[in-house]
Structure 1
């Protein structure tokens, strides 16, 4: 009996010992440190390290630092090995379950040292002159033209693209939260050393297969999308096409031969761009003689770590082509890119029959997060493969004709068998489940409730099936004329009909005690939602509401609550009655036209008045103005990209211009119209990328009115009396301050992307960005429309002191400019604005401070 007691006690003791030891084993093992050269103590970038026996490891960063965390069963490994070409490998012992620093000094292969003497010495200054690495990169630059696709007369290839976007860096605690109880099937596990961490939650995936045909003369690249498969969310919540377009813009193809490479909507200077030697440092780190042809491994780093530049390695052929055979690109942790925690791009090239190279595969991974090193975030991974690459084989001219982008009719309906055969590589276990998992997710009632709440809070609409109510940010506002204003409205959805759409709202001002309302009916001619591209619809509408003359807003409602706060006097408004009939037709190439008819009755409100001089120089009040107009508007935005929201199309700005042309004719006698006139307006918008100097958004605009009209029908120039900085308005101009019947304007808004701030110690850590703008408006008023010359013209508005509030631009241009700081807390831009002309006008300010919120990368 005693023997059994002893055995029983032994078992209990064994379990007790295991219980105490398990927490220690379960702890993570964290190893970090710095790798340096034993001879000169300089840090060594891109040194490989591996946990012996596990296959897990990585490379040191550009400063020679490394860090790795082992979890789960991996904490039992006890050795870490460091390897670097040209240096002797070293192995060190690691302690499981603790955080430790292991710094390494690697010895050169050719060194045999019995003793090491450390002496202080001045580090040699990096120079381009007589630098073999720089000479090599100059040869690469000189041969770029022949190593690009454009170096051939004809090229054809098949292209496969896969984009996966996931929530990343999710902790086990996050994953086990009660709110995710029904969604555990969505979470996936991956190698914890990969970008994005161990736990990920895929939220979007898309695959495309296309045939591509390039012709040099006349130059054209035609893409035919053969197959297109993506996660499709409920269109009431998300614009699927816009979401795909947004990801395409953020994760564009990387062409290392371009001078500038787009990365998450920014442009980074390529390490082999024409001007790269002035911004990068280059080091020859290895010669690979086992490869045919021989390759040189060239490492590169930015001269300034915070600039928008890459770091990494490229492998260059020594066969006279000086072509890139492989490339590994990443960015420094100090780079001025918002929310980017990790970036990695890999490029592989294959040899053509003429011994030149073409890109065969690229992979791009970017991890985003609010915090730099921890916490949940998002990771996007884009893989592109190029197959069936054929050079200098001309095809029939019909292949290159037509649109540059064509999608075959059944491209979105390809079977699983088709994809299984045509994918260059089979999907891994994580990616294969994404489509079915997200389809299942959308059928869960709790998820649909969450999306409804999200849409209400961030988009402004509450969906009730066939009808949605909103936008909520217009439910309450106030102004000097209406006082406290309440509004309620909504519109029908595709759940009611894909052909017919109705929209309405009603508003009431408690100060003027007037009702305002709107009603429209729209018929879709292409059996699609009128909010989706391409639009093709006919709409009839009536609106009775107030408007501030000269206020023109972008991507925000005029009665948005936040716009209730304004500077100066804001008691000049119009009561408008609009009767409209509009036809809009958009085409796939982003050309569109709109034809419309509008009957417009406007009456002054607040301190605004309409008046004419009588024969005895007395003012005669005019109650209202009535006009009838027909108009034609043309718009062309080649390669335009946007996200279609419930209220606005949000443009995804790129380098391509947008052209607008509008003609309006007023017809006297048509359903009460009182004036004959012709109004012609045109504009061009374009972004100019200036490499390391940032980018400029430029708008050029002009207009001309033919005919004699009262000042409310003239061009009332866009003013801004809010405290928000508005890109397309004059931020120190008062409402109704300037009118003209002919004008030309230019608006330049430049962002330096931190080019100067990045070079100032300490300040560079704030990731601030310099901005500046210039706005010039030149115009005039012909005598027939100028009441200061022609007493028969409708009089300008004057204040109580008799000073004119409304003015012509006959005394020179209106000019204002600003300098500011952007990217404050990553979302805020603050400008100091200066007005340079017409400073003698009443109630104007020479200086002002304006702010603008913008989420940017």
Structure 2
């Protein structure tokens, strides 16, 4: 009797959880796929449209016995659903009369007289009068869940040898409500925060109150990548930025040029009468979506929208991209964002059956409050001190603040990953992945990391073959101090090199950091105009295996530094640094650094001893970081950088040779130009006051490697131009395939066009030329006219390769001038 009761209870619970799931393909009489067909559950607002391959998936919490498929020019079909789950249906639409039922148009739609576009214009008029923009101040709670899953799980996948001993992980397999594919959760990050904003001040601030990771909280590389992957977006903006690309929003003012719009239906959603508008792209190979949205008939605020990226969009490694947003009604006029869901299917191949990884982000907004004015000082973004409590909230906190409950599979992920990390095989695989991403081998028993492994091998004309070994202390991502060092050996000069640095974070609140270091090495100077602060840093040109011609302009450098950094406000850094250097040529028989020194018996010196004091101000608005330790990870490079550097050299102190002053300015700004792509602009200027030797002057950064390196001049040799005064500017623009997508033979290759232009004006005084006369080097500066180069590049070749064709614009008659060069590199980008 007891077993019967249990069985009845189980059947009753299944009935309560009844769902209708259906997937398939829509084709015509010849078996050709029909894109953008309307797939609906009759007498409901639940539906979708087929993709470019005619495929669809639809799921509902309700039970429906019939599925309706319709398209203008075809006889509609109603398919009886024999079961609650019906997969792999094939629906054939025959050409026939247009029905009076809901239909979807295909092909280009007219702009004039189109009721959908008339509604769209109303949305444009009202978009700044909806939501939080109606109020002077606002506050809301925000819960975000980011999840990664293996997808397309089948028996062949489960039985792979790699999972032997880890079969228990497949107990968490579930089915996606968007694609109908099976998936296995492997990573979850949850966060809860309060967001405050002031529309009068045009500012906002987000205060993190809780954060929880599923087993990988100590791996900054994974967390940093996840945070970078999903930026915030607004469907009312003209462009929606995802994966560092700008998709045209279906609500964009330019949308009428790239989308077809059709007024499909109207119905009540809750107690609000809404119009349903279907949209799909006018052209292929552009960054566009397909889908539909419901919009209120009086406020013209969007109540519900779904967006699915076109399969032909020029986007790498992403097979599916789906967005769904729901808005809640506060009163008769205010619609507020309630739920935002994004799903991306990452895969190496675009085939339907190919396996990959889902990335899913769910964001819930609730507890809105308005017009609670706070002082301007409240919104000043100070440096956030690390609060250990935020990252160690108990289960009670999450039960109270998790606005969307985890399903059983998501709950199991936390326990599953904790168990999985104890499996030796998984630990080996995890360690290998960490090494490939970070470049460091973790030696956890000693709290040390070995690496970076990518610097192990090098070559240059002074050292020949070079081997390097190094490491750092690592107790966790929020270490308040760190030691780092390396040693290297050159098999040609038969000399050991070394470097060591130490950093201490004295005050977390204002990021007061003291650091010191020393290095003895061979370095290619003059590869950047504005020097970096990394005492262990070494330019790529210093160990380039393949170069255009011999590289003998290398410097033997012995450097010691001590610095103090302070961050009074978020992304504003003040730093002072003391440096002592000895500089001499690494190949004196080929590259001479001699200069006039009347204190020497010969009147000539070949080595510089120099003590400098540097004062720096750096501002990086929009920069996002992760971690609270002495070293932080940068979430993305999509932010501006303003850097002002003042250097003072003092003669006589510690036998320092020169008394001089130098002022330098650096400005870097990325620009997103919507459908036209993305630009990066850099401006630099500097002046050295007083006479100094070549090793302290400002060479214009050349590039004798075969790699495309931004902010260098690929057709200049090292030290071809040397200045004490300079102004430089560079612009690089990536059209992201905007042009190639309109060329029939090229658009399927998804190539991307890159153009660049670089220019520099500089001068060198007669006194500096005379001081460096004993070296025999020809010191010239581009003072007669601005030196410039331009380039045309092709990116995304095989999704990984970029090739640039670089042209020299002038100064073509200089000795050994390179008029043309080809450079390239490997780029992993979406």
Interval of TM-score (by shorter of Structure 1 and Structure 2)? 0.7 to 0.9
What corresponds to 2:485 in structure 1? 504
CA displacement at 1:705 relative to structure 2: 1.1
The number of residue pairs the alignment matches comes to 782
What corresponds to 2:496 in structure 1? 515
Matched, 1:228 2:219: no
What corresponds to 1:491 in structure 2? 472
Q: 1:491 to 1:401 in 2, by over 3 A?
A: closer
CA displacement at 1:365 relative to structure 2: 0.8
Matched, 1:434 2:423: no
Matched, 1:348 2:326: yes
Structure 2 CA distance, aligned partners of 1:662 and 1:499?
A: 27
What corresponds to 2:38 in structure 1? 47
CA displacement at 1:434 relative to structure 2: 2.0
Structure 1 CA distance, aligned partners of 2:200 and 2:25?
A: 55
CA displacement at 1:694 relative to structure 2: 0.4
SS at match of 2:166: helix
Q: 1:105 to 1:310 in 2, by over 3 A?
A: same
Deviations 1:29-54 (A, max 9, x none): 995332699xxx99562522689xxx
SS at match of 1:327: strand
CA displacement at 1:523 relative to structure 2: 3.7
What corresponds to 2:273 in structure 1? 294
Q: Which range moved further: 191-200 or 561-570?
A: 191-200
Matched, 1:471 2:452: yes
Q: 1:396 to 1:289 in 2, by over 3 A?
A: closer
Instruction: Please show how residues 132-151 of structure 1 align to structure 2 within 5 Å.
Output: 132-151=115-134
SS at match of 2:586: strand
CA displacement at 1:284 relative to structure 2: 0.9
Q: Give the alignment's Cα RMSD to 1 decimal.
A: 3.8
Q: Which range moved further: 749-758 or 836-845?
A: 836-845
SS at match of 2:428: helix
What corresponds to 2:814 in structure 1? 841
Structure 2 CA distance, aligned partners of 1:496 and 1:158?
A: 27
Match of 2:439 among 445, 460, 464: 460
Question: Contact 2:489 / 2:496 at 8 angstroms: preserved in 1?
Answer: yes
CA displacement at 1:353 relative to structure 2: 2.5
Structure 1 CA distance, aligned partners of 2:177 and 2:110?
A: 36
Question: Contact 1:775 / 1:815 at 8 angstroms: preserved in 2?
Answer: yes
Deviations 1:94-145 (A, max 9, x none): 9999988542248778569xxxxxxxxxx98633122222222112112222
What corresponds to 2:691 in structure 1? 708
What corresponds to 1:91 in structure 2? 79
Q: 1:260 to 1:68 in 2, by over 3 A?
A: closer
Match of 2:175 among 191, 203, 217: 191
Structure 2 CA distance, aligned partners of 1:420 and 1:489?
A: 45
What corresponds to 1:417 in structure 2? 396
Match of 1:335 among 313, 318, 334: 313
Structure 1 CA distance, aligned partners of 2:612 and 2:302?
A: 61
Structure 2 CA distance, aligned partners of 1:535 and 1:760?
A: 52
SS at match of 2:109: coil
Match of 1:584 among 556, 561, 565: 565
TM-score when normalising by structure 1: 0.83
Matched, 1:61 2:50: yes
CA displacement at 1:673 relative to structure 2: 0.5
Q: 1:511 to 1:627 in 2, by over 3 A?
A: same
Match of 2:719 among 713, 732, 736: 736
5+ long unaligned stretches in structure 1: 1-28, 71-78, 113-122, 528-532, 799-803
User: Which has the greater radius of gyration?
Assistant: 1
Deviations 1:559-594 (A, max 9, x none): 799722111121121111112222234467122232
Structure 2 CA distance, aligned partners of 1:497 and 1:255?
A: 33
Structure 2 CA distance, aligned partners of 1:656 and 1:731?
A: 25
Q: 1:333 to 1:426 in 2, by over 3 A?
A: same
SS at match of 1:134: helix
Structure 2 CA distance, aligned partners of 1:685 and 1:69?
A: 46
What corresponds to 1:851 in structure 2? 824
Match of 1:82 among 58, 63, 68: 68
Question: Contact 1:225 / 1:406 at 8 angstroms: preserved in 2?
Answer: no
CA displacement at 1:526 relative to structure 2: 4.9
Structure 1 CA distance, aligned partners of 2:307 and 2:79?
A: 28
What corresponds to 1:120 in structure 2? none
What corresponds to 2:17 in structure 1? none
CA displacement at 1:80 relative to structure 2: 7.8
Structure 2 CA distance, aligned partners of 1:443 and 1:622?
A: 62
SS at match of 1:720: coil
Matched, 1:831 2:773: no
Q: 1:246 to 1:506 in 2, by over 3 A?
A: closer
Matched, 1:174 2:157: yes
SS at match of 2:194: strand
Match of 2:525 among 521, 528, 549: 549
Q: 1:226 to 1:45 in 2, by over 3 A?
A: same
Question: Contact 2:34 / 2:50 at 8 angstroms: preserved in 1?
Answer: no
TM-score when normalising by structure 2: 0.86
SS at match of 1:143: helix
Matched, 1:326 2:312: no
Question: Contact 2:460 / 2:543 at 8 angstroms: preserved in 1?
Answer: no
